[in-house]
A and B are shown apart, each in its own frame.
Chain A
């Protein structure tokens, strides 16, 4: 009897679990199982407290500021509003290392503010390193993202309900209670969990702005254990603690991240009834001014790199650009192909095998990867392959793989729902026509998948292109990406060159994110 071949999605799921499990076994066993969790207890406690504190503060500030900004933008119309909204939508791809550059350029010892103060004859000894720098960078990256998501949520409140509010004579307080608050209550728990997770796992920002070993997140501590102390056992224990915290948050995220369904509204959008309230107008103008003063200079500091682009374009930059592009392309291919296979397996489990639990496993697997520290995964995989390849070669192999796995949750979210819709719409027709294999994929799936696939590919490339994560482990003369080059120039205080490289990274990431947005909003 011939056994049926396993579904490619099952093989992919098994391979991911084997990679994660294998890398941890390799890490834990390399030092004969030492040290124990007990022996790193005080150090672990310090790192954990710092990680949790900075992530909590960053989340509170980002959510508070982002929500206020979203409400102000929902209520106000002004020239350039559309451009502001487009910029908010792409902030999720601003690389952490570029945010570091912006914070140092504006708030650093020789930054814009210090220079401005010295012109006025004032000086300040305040340091940007430690909590101030980390919080500014996290709020700069996350609050626009929060604002964009909340604004999207607010915009799906049906126009009929705003007309009703207008007809019933709601006050601004009643409008907030009955129209805005239900949206915020649905959006904020999931959003706060996501921001917390991103800040808790923050690497580039904490490494560059932490200001010393006393200020390390778990992610940075794992990196230091691997790169500086070569203490693989400690790295493994730290990674397990990080996984436990992140898994808890990820599972909560999976339950809480719901959004009210988009509602069909009538032909003309309704005006908000609270727009003409004077006190609210003053509050909104205040919020918009604070946002411009906070976000504007940071963005401008990166854009100012345009003056040095010509000077910085040398062979090093060209090679680093090509390397980043190649790694990003390969990572995007990994993310999208894995998402395609897992999505197909989930669809099959849900619609054909009638196994919702199995389908849910495929759905949640990409999100679980958010909990796995990339450094621990990379180090474990490197230990497994180190007999066969040199470190630099390993970097070329592992960077696309790890970046691809990091982008998998986003790619899956874009691709899998469309696969499900394709099956629902055309599955039975395909069966009656006898379509299977490649012909089924090319005729039934691909026409519906090509745009979300392209969107996921571009977004995965954008995320990978600016990533300064595990390249910190392998980076050097033989392997240099643009973010690594930026980190080197920042370390050497060559801020002008760093800002030019930062601008290149930002421009590329924005172009790719814009392309992704266009693809995901385009009609089939």
Chain B
């Protein structure tokens, strides 16, 4: 279980204080207006931002003293997830070994992960030769092979067209079901995840304003501007 309790972050132009609980193995959609603090929340969990106060734990382990590389967290960003000079297989391998020196079983795990996101046969391709959707699948494969139980997706599909987005959300849902990972995903279009998400959190002005089932959150009055 992911527990965030009164984690406070302060900048000259922005303040945030988060409290949220996500059950183990759940898919939690983070929605809310632009600039409301969705990405900052994920950055804090990943260790890129350090709260001034509060508590943050996953499965009972205190995450705050850990640097990003030691946290049980894998992250996929909206853009720039892949290194352009590496192939799809090498990019995915980074999740397992940043040195790229893999033994046979590790290499097989990478190939399996690429297959799991529908990229069999494209292992040797470089990012410039792949579509936006394929690139994001490689990033998902990297998150999978890292075997980290908490995956953070920061608007990973916002640059894709609606049909492809729907397809990718199904890939994420399958990942969550078959690999027993907990997923937090920020998204601009909550309707698209309403059917697969177990939980939805509405974040605005640096706070989790509401959290519950997607139907519950989307029926509240603020949901009219949830994707602003």
Contact = CB atoms under 8 A, between A and B. Distances in A.
Interface string A251-294: 00000000000011011101000000000000000000000000
B163 interface: no
Interface string A160-175: 1101101111110010
B85 A166 contact: no
B47 interface: yes
Contacts of B85: 178, 182
Interface in A136-190: 158, 160-161, 163-164, 166-171, 174, 178-179, 182
Contacts of B49: 268
Contact of A160 (B70, B80, B99): B80
Interface residues of A, number: 21
A166 B83 contact: no
Interface string B56-88: 000000000001111101110111110111100
A174 B99 contact: yes
A450 to B, nearest CB: 32
Contacts of A171: 98
A182 B146 CA distance: 24
A163 B68 contact: yes
B48 A168 contact: no
B68 A166 contact: yes
Contact of B79 (A160, A168, A174, A179): A160
A156 to B, nearest CB: 11
A166 B48 contact: yes
A263 B48 contact: no
B14 to A, nearest CB: 8
A263 B95 contact: no
B83 A161 contact: yes
B79 A164 contact: no
Contact of A166 (B39, B69, B94): B69
A160 B81 CA distance: 7
Interface string B24-64: 00000000000000010001001111000000000000000
B68 A158 contact: no
Nearest to A175: B98
Nearest to B75: A167
B86 A166 contact: no
Contact of B81 (A164, A169, A266, A270): A164
B67 to A, nearest CB: 7
Contacts of A264: 79
A168 B71 CA distance: 10
Interface in A422-440: none
Interface residues of B, number: 28
B66 to A, nearest CB: 11
Nearest to B139: A164
Nearest to A171: B98
A185 B90 CA distance: 19
Contact of B46 (A161, A167, A266, A267): A167
B79 A166 contact: no
A267 B43 CA distance: 11
B79 A167 contact: no
A463 B219 CA distance: 65
A158 B83 CA distance: 10
Nearest to A161: B80
Tell me the dominant secondary structure on chain B's binding face. loop
A160 B98 contact: no
Contact of B75 (A163, A178, A182): A163
A268 B67 CA distance: 18
B79 A158 contact: yes
A264 B94 CA distance: 23
A180 to B, nearest CB: 12
A264 B67 CA distance: 25
Q: Which of A164, A166, A168, A270 has the most CB of B within 10 A?
A: A164
Contacts of B80: 158, 160-161, 263
A164 B98 contact: no
A269 B200 CA distance: 28
A263 B78 CA distance: 12
A263 B84 CA distance: 13
Interface string B88-118: 0000001100110000000000000000000
Contacts of A167: 46-47, 68-69, 71, 73-75
Contacts of B39: 266-267
Contacts of B83: 161, 178-179, 182
A48 B39 CA distance: 59
Given A163-B48, A266-B39, A168 B77 contact: no
B205 to A, nearest CB: 15
A170 B83 CA distance: 13
A178 B91 CA distance: 10
Q: Which of A158, A166, A179 has the most CB of B within 10 A?
A: A166
Contacts of A161: 80, 83
B79 to A, nearest CB: 7
A74 B67 CA distance: 21
Contacts of B71: 167
Contacts of A164: 75, 77, 81
A167 B77 CA distance: 12
A170 B99 CA distance: 8
Nearest to B48: A163
Contacts of A263: 79-80
A264 B80 CA distance: 9
Given A164-B75, A263-B79, A270 B98 contact: no
Interface of B: 39, 43, 46-49, 67-71, 73-75, 77-81, 83-86, 94-95, 98-99, 146
13 contacts: A160-B79, A161-B80, A163-B75, A166-B67, A167-B68, A168-B94, A168-B95, A168-B146, A178-B94, A182-B85, A268-B43, A268-B49, A270-B48
Interface of A: 158, 160-161, 163-164, 166-171, 174, 178-179, 182, 263-264, 266-268, 270
Given A167-B47, A182-B85, 4 more contacts: A160-B77, A163-B68, A178-B83, A264-B79
